[in-house]
Amino acid sequence: MTIPACVLKFGREKSLLARHPWVFSGALQREPDVERGETVDVVTADGHFVARGAYNPDSQIRVRIYTFEPETIDEAFFERRLREALAWRRGLLPAETNAFRVCFAEGDELPGVIVDHYDGFVALQLQTAGADARRDDIVEAVRRVLAPKGIYERSDSGFRREEGLDTRTGLLFGDVPPATLAVKESGVTHLVDIANGQKTGMFLDQRDSRAMARRLANGKTVLNVFSYTGGFSLAALAGGATRAVNLDTSGPALAIAREAYRANGHAVNDADFIEDDAFARLRAMDERFDMVILDPPAFCKSQSHVKTALRGYKDVIMQGLRRTKPGGLLLAFSCSGHVDATLFQKVIFGAALDVGRQAQILARLGHSFDHPINIYHPEGEYLSGYVIRAGREEAHAR
């Protein structure tokens, strides 16, 4: 079978030879007349094979590379990649943990394919035209590799719009997952709503940071801002926190957080579940905590919104510092890919200076290892965080 070819402009194979998995429209001199999502070869101006990937005429990223070998892209290909991704993760997962990401798109050399495993159920997210066109192959590969009780599709992320795709959600195979599925993370019970929760139900990318919160929490009071279903609070309580207060705008997420407190044997006090806007509420509060966690949603999805996002981060960090006792800890995160760790550190610097607090970086945080960053695709990195010791207040505080 001949595979349609995208022909590169002269000399434009450089980034591909450095194994970068995206081909932009500007690098191509000729494109085939094929459907969105179809498999194409990328060839040099003089006709030599460079890579094979999925074509999308509706995206600036015209080809997303599956492989740099002339191998067949079929169900067996997806199965091989998934098997490899699963095998190394299995050996590295913390004990008593049954919720993790099996496949992280380009991070696992499967562009657009997100596979999350929740105690036997799979949440599948297909983010690109290529992945979407291969749904049947991918579902079959997931069945073979993971033998799940059910596969539920959550292809409703913003990425799809840029690819010209509509939202798709629903059961693809087997049983519908329970409305709140109980999973374990280092022995702690978390409750996951696969069908309706944010992302695919749980922020698996924050596992290592939750473990860090647990390590630091003993004897402390905790304010968990942007708490979602209480993940950081449950970790902190398992680590000996005396109290963990959750603040989020989402009523359904807080309802799950309450249920999860019960499932872990923690007392449920109404005062510890605050449904409100974080920016307003932090300003209105006067209580201070030993540890404050700030894990807001992405404030910017594109380069053009970085400035506004930085203002948002600075504001929320200033408020978070004010709610942290002198000598307390602040765990601050950014999940905006366009705000890297260096830039985010500058934002924390500006916030500390403006509220007049001594501040020390105790640790840098990032993706859990099941969200690997392909060294040839640094664009895959989006999450950064800092453990800050918020020291004494300066007399000149503004």
Residues that bind ligand SAH (CB under 6 A): 198, 203, 206, 226, 228-229, 231-232, 248-250, 253, 277-279, 295-297
Is there a catalytic annotation at residue 335? yes
* Residue 319 main-chain phi, psi, to 5 deg: -65, -40
Distance CA 271, CA 213 (A): 21
Q: Which amino acid is at 168?
A: R
- 102: nearest Cα among 112, 113, 94: 113
Query: Which residue, 130 or 296, is less far from ligand SAH as judged by CB?
Result: 296
Q: Tokens in use for 386?
A: 């800092």
Torsion, CA 340, CA 382, CA 209, CA 272, rounded to 10: 100
Task: Report in angstroms how near the CB of residue 327 gets to ligand SAH at its nearest.
Answer: 24
Determine contact, residues 225/198, Cβ cutoff 8 Å. no
Determine contact, residues 142/152, Cβ cutoff 8 Å. no
Task: Report in angstroms how near the CB of residue 341 gets to ligand SAH at its nearest.
Answer: 18
Task: Report in angstroms how near the CB of residue 185 gets to ligand SAH at its nearest.
Answer: 10
Determine contact, residues 39/54, Cβ cutoff 8 Å. yes
Tokens 């918020």 — which residue? 390
Query: Which residue, 31 or 275, is less far from ligand SAH as judged by CB?
Result: 275
Q: Tokens in use for 173?
A: 């195979």
Distance CA 249, CA 275 (A): 5
Task: Report in angstroms how near the CB of residue 270 gets to ligand SAH at its nearest.
Answer: 17
Sorted by sequence, the CB contacts under 8 Å of residue 282 that are 6+ apart come out as 225, 247, 316, 319, 320, 322, 323
Max CA separation in the chain (angstroms):
75
Query: Which residue, 152 or 226, is less far from ligand SAH as judged by CB?
Result: 226
Sorted by sequence, the CB contacts under 8 Å of residue 104 that are 6+ apart come out as 114, 370, 371, 372, 380
Strand partners, 169: 154
Query: Which residue, 151 or 244, is less far from ligand SAH as judged by CB?
Result: 244
Task: Report in angstroms how near the CB of residue 250 gets to ligand SAH at its nearest.
Answer: 4
Determine contact, residues 122/146, Cβ cutoff 8 Å. yes
Query: Which residue, 147 or 268, is less far from ligand SAH as judged by CB?
Result: 268
Query: Which residue, 277 or 379, is less far from ligand SAH as judged by CB?
Result: 277
Query: Which residue, 73 or 247, is less far from ligand SAH as judged by CB?
Result: 247
- 77: nearest Cα among 141, 147, 122: 141
Distance CA 98, CA 82 (A): 17
Task: Report in angstroms how near the CB of residue 279 gets to ligand SAH at its nearest.
Answer: 6
Task: Report in angstroms how near the CB of residue 312 gets to ligand SAH at its nearest.
Answer: 9
User: Hey, which residues are catalytic here?
Assistant: 335
